[in-house]
Amino acid sequence: MTEQQHDESKLERVIRKIKRCLALSKSPNENEAATAMRQAQALMREYRLTELDVRLSDVDEVQSEKSRANRRPTWDRHLSGIVARVFGCRPLSYKHWCKSSGRMVERALFVGVMPAPQIAMYAYETLLTKLTQARRDYVASVRSGMRRSAYSPETAGDHFAIAWVSVVHGKIHQLVPCGEEDPAIEQHPNGRDLVAVESQDEALIEQYLSGKEIGKQRKARAVELDMAAQIAGMLAGQRVELNPGMAHAGHVAAQISHSQ
């Protein structure tokens, strides 16, 4: 372990201790709460940490194991974008040199307050696998003449995939509790607390990304889509079933299936 790694490991332990103290500072026992807050403040002074530093430690980024040799297609980026919005993350594309393949690749990346990026990545990769297969099947049907298109099979497949994502967009919201089903909103009918948490997470993500170099997103060109491909994509998207499974500790385990 290098000296830098040792320092980072030590800092992580200190931040964990500060977090425990801050959690205890909310104890109904006034003496315990006051003692915990003093300990947290003392540690922050000793290591020159602010409350923002501690909160920022919860923000992390998760990159997809799936990569592309070329730029990710529009339908792929659309999928990561809608998943990110549902789970309160920022979707990015990460381009880098891949040693194992010996070439430049591009991957989807989610930034957010943990464990949101991990959950978003799970949903994205599961849906991407299904969408890729559905698009592949549609392209094959156009190529074989089973379906007609004024476009090339690959382009028709892209139009199919964009429509697929647009339909699944509405279904993805079923992966997280919302409305009256959310205990937090039942206790706070106006949902003000939920909005405050979302705004706080968004601010933390912005702060985390402020020191990183992020390329500007290209503006998508307006194109006329193949109506037949759109209809086929929408019908295929409607057959995707999202069965949310709730676990404790605010964790969402999504079981995604496709009806035949």
Helix, strand or coil, per DSSP, at residue 187 = helix
Q: What is the pLDDT of residues 175-205, one digit of tens each?
A: 665 544 444 434 444 455 556 667 788 888 9
Q: For the chain, percent helix, then strand, then coil, each to nearest 5?
A: 55, 15, 25
Gyration radius (Cα) of the chain, Å: 23
Please report, for the chain, how many H helices and E strands are present, in that order: 9, 5
Side chain identity, residue 117: P
pTM over 0.85: no
Side chain identity, residue 226: D
Give Cα 77 distance to the centre of its chain.
12
Side chain identity, residue 173: H
Q: Tell me the CB-side half-sphere exposure of residue 72, using CA atoms within 13 A.
A: 24
Counting residues of the chain whose pLDDT is more than 70, the rounded percentage is: 77
pLDDT given for residue 54 in this prediction: 80
Instruction: For residue 53, give every residue at least 6 positions away whose Cβ sits within 8 Å of its Cβ, in sequence order, or none.
Output: 15, 44
pLDDT given for residue 50 in this prediction: 79
Nearest to 139 by CA among 124, 163, 167, 159: 159
Contact 149, 142 (CB under 8 A): yes
Q: What is the pLDDT of residues 204-251, one digit of tens each?
A: 898 888 877 776 666 666 667 789 999 999 999 999 887 654 233 334
Q: What is the pLDDT of residues 124-169, one digit of tens each?
A: 999 999 999 999 999 999 999 999 898 999 999 999 999 999 999 8
